[in-house]
Amino acid sequence: MTTPAPTLRNALPFWMSLLMVPMGIVAAIFGGWTIALIPAYGWIVMSILDRFAGLETDNMDLETGEADLYWYKLITIIWLPIQLTLVFGCLMVINWGSHLSGWESVFLMMAMGVVSGSIGINYAHELIHQKNRLEQRLGEALLISVLYGHFRSEHLIVHHRYVGTPRDPVTARYNESFYRFFIRVLPGCFRSAWNAEVDRLHRKGLPALHRSNPFWRYGLGAISFLAIAALIGGWAGVGLFVIQAFVAILQLELVNYVEHYGLTRRHLGDGKYEHVQPRHSWNAAHKMTNFLLINLQRHSDHHYKPDRRFPLLQTYEASEAPQLPFGYPLMTAIATNPLLWRRMMNPMVRKWRQDFYPDITDWKPYSTASNPMPR
């Protein structure tokens, strides 16, 4: 079943992220318990609304033209200045005001990290996949603003190519806790992104430090944002900005952990794997969190057809793609408890293996780097 023709009214639910802006302003002005408004909205309220709103199984017509998606695209395009105003505005309030205690200042910037992680990085993910240069640069700037610019290279060149294989550092392995995953993926993501860009330059006969290496932009951009934080609040401002960035990165990697946990592609021999299919990503059709996260939870289709804009992402039945029991906010919260996570997800992974790959009895090679893959 397809959704009605795209209109501003139909696109407005995907603008729910804007509700975090007044929450952030209130938190900066009043401090105290109001700082909890943003994380409570993102994790608790949206998960409760998911429970009552149910699943969204309708799909937009794939023949919908670019012009008809204007109101959907606009929210991602305008987000960069909104986020920077909110983050640096909070730093100004902390530095130039006197009503927030030290701990309130820390928690306020952690709340800003929830905004820049759950919304900013998510919108950046949508933007870096587009062919339009402006959107690509906006997405890159959002990633650099949380000191994670290299995610663009890793995601586009490495993750989408090697997802579900031992070569992809951000595919969570079966029985791997989030904490072990997080420690592994932080250096692994940077290293794989750097190697991918260097390989790309070498194929063109260029040195690793050639000016076209985007790591120059990632690094200089990060320094620029840190310099602005220093001008506003000195070393304390830099520290608070880094706290915001760390919380954002933490959320990104929690989502990465959930999206592919335990799922692998069939090894065909000689370092080759089957093509990516919807079954290689966890799908979630929960309506309200998909509104907030602009259909990020329709991740099975995103990997199957990476060029599709978020309104066009399709959802799948359980016979085509594995289904998460809850939306990302609740699933990421559960992921922080390894015992509860394994109790919930490991049986689901085993069922997925039986449903889609009943002929494979030895899964150990799919969880290690023992199978060589071409560079």
Both tokens assigned to 28: 């900066």
Query: What percentage of the chain has pLDDT greater than the value 90?
Result: 89
**Is 368 a residue whose pLDDT tops 70?**
no
Exposed/middle/buried for residue 67 (C-beta within 10 Å: 0-12, 13-18, 19+): exposed
Instruction: Give the model confidence (pLDDT) of 62-119 as tens digits.
Output: 988 888 999 999 999 999 999 999 999 999 999 998 999 999 999 999 999 999 999 9
Exposed/middle/buried for residue 133 (C-beta within 10 Å: 0-12, 13-18, 19+): exposed
**Is 365 a residue whose pLDDT tops 90?**
no
CB 151 within 8 A of CB 143: yes
CB 239 within 8 A of CB 222: no
Query: What percentage of the chain has pLDDT greater than the value 70?
Result: 95
Q: H or E stretch including 176?
A: none
Both tokens assigned to 11: 């696109």
Exposed/middle/buried for residue 311 (C-beta within 10 Å: 0-12, 13-18, 19+): buried
Both tokens assigned to 7: 């209109």
Q: What is the mean pLDDT of residues 343-353?
A: 96
Q: What is the mean pLDDT of the chain?
A: 93
Both tokens assigned to 259: 């999206």
Beta-bridge mates of residue 269: 272
**pLDDT band at 2, cuts 50/70/90?**
low
The sign one gets for the Cα dihedral 117, 118, 119, 125 is positive
**pLDDT band at 151, cuts 50/70/90?**
very high
Q: What is the mean pLDDT of residues 336-353?
A: 97
**pLDDT band at 11, cuts 50/70/90?**
very high
How far apart are alpha carbons 344 and 335 in whole angstroms?
Answer: 10
pLDDT of 9 reads 84
**pLDDT band at 1, cuts 50/70/90?**
low
Nearest of 82, 36, 4, 17 to residue 289 by alpha carbon? 17
**Is 247 a residue whose pLDDT tops 50?**
yes
pLDDT of 370 reads 41
pLDDT of 373 reads 36
How far apart are alpha carbons 282 and 325 in whole angstroms?
Answer: 10
**Is 277 a residue whose pLDDT tops 60?**
yes
Q: What is the mean pLDDT of residues 339-357?
A: 96
Instruction: Give the model confidence (pLDDT) of 187-241 as tens digits.
Output: 999 999 999 999 999 999 999 999 999 999 999 999 999 999 999 999 999 999 9
Q: Which residues contact 367 (CB under 8 A, 6 or more apart)?
A: 166, 173, 174, 264
Nearest of 264, 267, 303 to residue 283 by alpha carbon? 303
Q: What is the mean pLDDT of residues 51-64?
A: 92
Q: H or E stretch including 269?
A: strand 267-269
pLDDT of 269 reads 85
Instruction: Give the least confident one: 117-131, 265-279, 353-367.
Output: 353-367
